[in-house]
Structure 1
Amino acid sequence: MGTASNKWRELIRVSAVDYFTGETLVDSLVYPAVDMRNLSTRYSGISWRDMRQAQRSGKCFFGRDEAREALWKFVSPETIVIAHAGENDLNALRWIHPRVLDTQILHGGQRGLANLSSSILGISIQTGDGHCSLEDAMATREIAIRHVERQLAWNSSTEGSNEPEVDGSTWSAGNIDEVQPEEEDSDDMVDEEYDGEEHGW
C-alpha cells in the first residue's frame, strides 16, 4: 500500500488466489485515483516507473473502486474472505464484508505474516525488495489450510465436542465504522465460498 496526500493508506496492488486450488484470480497493480504522497516503495516494492509502465500498457486497475469490482466477480456476501491483518486490506478497499477469517487473529493477533510463514510452513517470504502481495496471498492461504486441517483433526479426536479451538477473539469486518490510516501494509487476501466456487486471496 502507498500513502495518499491526506495520509490515508491507499491500495496500489491487489492479489487474490483460490482457497482450494491456489489458482491466481486477481493480481494487478492499482494506479491510484487520488493524489499520492508516496508509494512506500521500500515496503511495497512498487515504484512510479512500474505504475507508469502498467498504465501505458493497460495492465493495471485505475483506482480502488475498479480493483474492488474485479474482486467482487469472485466474491458474494456468503463468501468467506481469508486474510492476514484483514482490517488493513478491507480499509484500503473501502469494503465492509460480513465473513472474514483473519489468520493473524487465529494466531494471537500480533504475529506478522513472514513470522507465521517461517514457523508454520517453513517457508521464508518477504525476503526481497518489498512485499509481493501475491506471495503474501499464497502464504495466507497455506496458513489457513494448516489451521483448518489441525482443527478437523482436533475435532475428530475430541468426543462430544464440536467447538472450534481458536486462538484470539472473533473479528468481523462489520465492526468497521470508518476508515483510518494504517501503519502496516497488508495486501494479501483469500476467499472461500460454500457453493463449490470458493476462492482465496
Structure 2
Amino acid sequence: MKKEYDYEHTAHLVSKAQLGDKKAKDELCHRFRPLVYGLTRTAYETIDHEDMAQVLWIVFLESLADYDSSRGLPFAAYVKKRLSQAAVDYMRRHEVMLKHGGVKDEETKDRLLSGEIMVDGVRQNWYEMKQDELTEGEVEQLIAGLGLTSRQEEILHLRMKGYSWADIHGICHLSYKNVHKHKQNIRAIVMKNEIFRNYFA
C-alpha cells in the first residue's frame, strides 16, 4: 500500500486544483487512483467495490478542497489518512447492514445463507496489515517543515529510526544533559502532532 509521491509537484497540482484548474485536478485523480481502488480490495465478498470507490472519490475531492498546506502535513499523507478512515467506516456500515439482515438483494442473501460466499474471506484485509503511518519521504518532508535546527533534525531522525535516547547520546557525542535539553525543545514543537507523539513518551 505504501507509495512514494513527488511532493513538490503534488503540492503544485493541489494549489492549482484548489484554484479551479481542471487539468490539475484530473492529474491528481490519476495519481491517487491506485490508492482509491487499493482501499476497495477487501476480503468482503458482499461489498460492491465500484460503489465503495465512488464513496472514496467523494472523500478524495472533499479532502482536496479542505486541505491546508500551512499545517505542515503533505497532501499524500493527509488524503491517505482520510481515505483509509472512510474505507474502514464504509466496511463497518456494511457489517452492520449484514448483521441486521439488510442485504440489498435476495440472490446475495441466498448465497450468504448457503455458504457459497462469506462476509469475510480468507485473504487478509489491507487495514489489518501492520504498516507505517507515513512513508520515509513523507516523514522527511514533515520534519523539514517543523522549523527545527539542524542538530534537532538529526536527533529527531535518529529517534524515529528507533534509536534510544542513550544511543543518540553516543552517536551525536552529546552529554546526557544536552540530549535531554534537545529532547525537551523538540518535544515542545512536535507534541501537537500525533505522528510524533509516541517518540517522546
TM-score (norm 2): 0.30
Give 1 or 2: higher helix fraction. Answer: 2
Query: TM-score, length-normalised on structure 1?
Result: 0.30
More strand as a share of residues: 1
The structure with higher relative contact order (CA 8 Å, sep 6+) is: 1
Larger Rg: 2
